Structure 1
Amino acid sequence: MKILVVNYRDRKHPASGGAEKHLHCIFSRIVEKGHQVVLFSTSFPGAPSYEIVDGIEVIRSGSDLLFQLTYARAIKKLDRKYQFDVIYEDLNKLPLFTPQLSKKPHIIQIHHLWKRSIFSEAFFPVALGVWLFEKMIPLFYKKSHFIVVSPSTEKELEELGIASSQIQLVYNGADGLPPNVTLPLKKSDYFLWLSRLHRYKGIYTALEAFRIFSKKYPDVKLRIAGGGPLLKKMPKIIERYGLTGKVILEGYVSGEKKRTLLAEAIGLLQTSYKEGWGLTVIEAAECKTATIASAVPGLVDSVIDQKTGILFPMKDASSCAQAMELFYLNSERRELFELEAQMHAAEFTWDKAALETLKILEWRVAFSK
C-alpha cells in the first residue's frame, strides 16, 4: 500500500512529543513490512523539505499557524505524484478535514480530545478556537472511522457524537528494555517528573506536592526531565516555590539517560491535566518504577489505581504529596506496585500496535472498493 500520513510534526521537530513517537513507532514498522509511507508535516528552522526518517518519506511545508491551508493546497499534488491508497490523519492538534479534501479511504487517529483542558494551556482566543474545532468533528468527520489509544478517548469521542461502530481501540506500544540493561537493586533518593514542560502537564501541581513532601523529607530531590516552552522559566519558578537546590532540572534527556532516571527513581510523578494514554507511565513500568498520577482521562487507563501505582484527584497537591510519602516510607508496598507495573507494561508492544493499525488501514482500502 501507499499511505499518506498527515501530522503537524514529525519526530525530529523540536516540539515533538508522544503523538510523534507513536507515529514513527507505528509507521516505521509498517514500512518494514513493504509498504510506502509518506508523512506530510510542518517545517522548522534548519529542517530539509524532504528527508527519510525511520524509512518514512517526510515532506515538510509551512508552519503550525497555516498548516490546515498548506495541507489543503498540497494534497491533490501529493496524490497525483504518489497515488495513495489510504490517508491517515493524525488529529492531535487542529482537525485537517481530510474527508472534505479527498475521496480516498482514510482513517483518523485521535490520542485525546482537549475539551475544557485546553483553557489551562493556551490563551483564551486560541483555546476557544481549539474547543470549537473539536465540537465540529462530528459534522466534518461524520462518516469517518477512528483509531484511539485508550478507553478514555473512545468514551470522549462517543460523548462528542461519534458512533461506537466507527471507533477502534489500538493501545500504544512500549519500547522494551535493551538486553544489556540491568535494573538497579536499590532506588535513589529522588522522584522524577518526565514530560514536555507545558502548563497542562501539571508541573505546578508537582512542585506544590513536592514542597509539601519536602518539609518532612528534606533530603529527597525532585528531578525534572524534558524540554518545552516553560523550561527557561523553571529556575525562577522553582525559586518562587522555595525549592532551589532541591529540584534538579535535567532538560531534554537521551533515551539512555531517561531509562537511568526512571529506573533509579522512587516513583514517577505524572501530574498532567489531560493525556491520551501516558507513554511515560509504561516506560517507567518497564524500568520497574511505579507512577503517582492525576486521575484524568488516559492516565486512569495506563495506571491501575492501588495496583500499578496511585491515582490522585487532578490538581490536588496534598493528595499527591501523601502518595509520595507512602512510596517513600512503605518500600514493601511500593515494590508490589513496581512488580505489578512491570508485568502490566509487558502487555504492550509497538509490533502489536503496528500490526493492528495496518490491518485497519487494509480493511479501509478493501472496504472502499
Structure 2
Amino acid sequence: LARFGWWIESRLSPLVHRRRQWLTVSQPSAAELATLGVPSSHIAVIRNGVDPVPAGISAGTPAERAPGPRLVVLSRLVPHKHVEDALSLLAELLPDSPDLRLDVIGGGWWEPQLREHADTLGVSGATTFHGHVSERRKHEILRAATVHLMPSRKEGWGLAVMEAGQHRLPTIGYTHAAGLRDSIDTGRTGILVDGLGEMIDATRALLADRPQLERMGAAARDKAAGFSWEAAGTAAEWLLAEAAAGRVHSGVIDPPADPGRER
C-alpha cells in the first residue's frame, strides 16, 4: 500500500497536475519536485513561519544557559529522524566531557527503540527523554541548551531549526536532509555535515569554541526573527489569488508590499 501511495505522489500526481501552481516550503524541496517532472516554472516557495517565544521566556542569553554543555534534539521520534545518531554522538563525546547532557524533546512510536539504544550505548544517565511537552516547557528546555542537533535523514524545511534559533542555538544537521540546506546557513547559523563522523567532529569543535558558538547563535536568532506565520499567510493568500486568476509563479514568494500589484 505504501508503494502504491508513493507511486501516486511521485509519478501520477506530477503528471496530472503539471499545469497547476505548485507550492512547497524550501528551494531544495522545489528542486526535488522538479526531478519528479513538475515544471520549475510552476513551483513557488513560501517558507514556514515560526511561532513567537511564549511571554516571559527570554531568548536564551549566555547567562541563562545550563551550567554544563547541553545538546538538544527537537523531533518526532520516528525512524527517519534518526535520533540514534545523537545518542551515538553523545556516547563518543562523554568520555572527554562527562558533564555533557542530551535533551530529547518530542514523542513517537520509535521511543522504546531509542531508549533501548541509549541503554546499549551506556548513555541513559546522560539523556533525558522529555516526550511531548507544552509550548512553554519546550522553549524552557531550548533556552537552557547549547547546541541543537538535527540528525534527520529527510526534511522539507526544518521548523525546529528556527525554533532553536530563537534561543541563539546553532543547528548541526545533515546536508542530505534537503530542506536543511535552506534553513541552515552553514558556517553562519549552523553547520551542515555529511555523516555521523563529521557531526561528532563539528559538535566537539563548536562546544570547544565559545566565541564561534555565540556568533553562530546570534546569527541563528537573527535569521529566525525574519520568519512569521503572518508573513507566510500573506504570501500564501496572494499566491492563491494569483492561481485562481490563472497565473502561475515560481521562486521564493515574499509578502507583496501591495497585495494587488503584479509580479
- Normalising by the smaller structure, the TM-score range is 0.7 to 0.9
Tell whether 2:174 aligns with 1:294: yes
Tell whether 2:107 aligns with 1:227: yes
Q: 1:243 aligns with which of 102, 108, 123?
A: 123
Please give the residue correspondences for 1:15-94 in structure 2 after superposition, counting only pairs within 5 Å.
none
Tell me, which stretches of 5 or more residues in structure 1 are unaligned? 1-124
Contact 1:212 1:318 (8 Å CA) reproduced? no
Name the aligned partner's letter for residue 350 of structure 1: W
Deviations 1:167-204 (A, max 9, x none): 11111111122453223424223100110001111112
Secondary structure in 1 matching 2:218: helix
Contact 1:266 1:327 (8 Å CA) reproduced? no
| TM-score (ref. length: structure 2) | 0.86
**Aligned twin of 1:335:** 214
The CA deviation at 1:329 is 1.2
Contact 1:147 1:168 (8 Å CA) reproduced? yes
Q: 1:326 aligns with which of 198, 202, 205?
A: 205
Secondary structure in 1 matching 2:125: coil
Contact 2:11 2:36 (8 Å CA) reproduced? yes
Secondary structure in 2 matching 1:253: coil
Distance 2:169 2:30 in 1: 27
Q: 1:306 aligns with which of 165, 171, 187?
A: 187
Secondary structure in 1 matching 2:243: helix
Answer with 275-284 or 177-186: which moved more: 177-186
Distance 2:196 2:246 in 1: 50
Name the aligned partner's letter for residue 154 of structure 1: A
Q: 2:40 aligns with which of 161, 164, 178?
A: 164
The CA deviation at 1:247 is 1.1
Distance 1:211 1:129 in 2: 39
Q: Give the share of equivalent positions with the same residue, in percent.
A: 28
Distance 1:141 1:223 in 2: 43
Contact 2:49 2:232 (8 Å CA) reproduced? yes
Deviations 1:3-29 (A, max 9, x none): xxxxxxxxxxxxxxxxxxxxxxxxxxx
**Aligned twin of 1:198:** 78
Name the aligned partner's letter for residue 105 of structure 2: A
Name the aligned partner's letter for residue 337 of structure 1: M
**Aligned twin of 1:213:** 93
Distance 1:312 1:162 in 2: 29
Contact 1:269 1:293 (8 Å CA) reproduced? yes
**Aligned twin of 1:363:** 242
Contact 1:138 1:162 (8 Å CA) reproduced? yes
The CA deviation at 1:357 is 0.5
CA RMSD in angstroms, aligned pairs only: 1.6
The CA deviation at 1:142 is 2.2
CA distance 1:243–1:129, shift in 2 (3 Å) = farther
Tell me, which stretches of 5 or more residues in structure 2 are unaligned? 248-263
**Aligned twin of 1:138:** 14
Deviations 1:287-327 (A, max 9, x none): 111111111200111011110011111xx222111111122
Q: 1:154 aligns with which of 11, 30, 33?
A: 30
The CA deviation at 1:263 is 1.4
Name the aligned partner's letter for residue 304 of structure 1: D
Contact 2:64 2:143 (8 Å CA) reproduced? no
Please give the residue correspondences for 1:255-294 in structure 2 after superposition, counting only pairs within 5 Å.
255-294=135-174
Distance 1:269 1:162 in 2: 32
Q: Which has the larger radius of gyration?
A: 1
Tell whether 2:62 aligns with 1:187: no
The CA deviation at 1:352 is 0.7
Q: Which runs of 4+ in 1 moved over 3 A?
A: 128-131
Q: RCO greater where, 1 or 2, for CA within 8 Å and sep 6 or more?
A: 2
The CA deviation at 1:130 is 4.2
Name the aligned partner's letter for residue 162 of structure 1: V
| TM-score (ref. length: structure 1) | 0.62
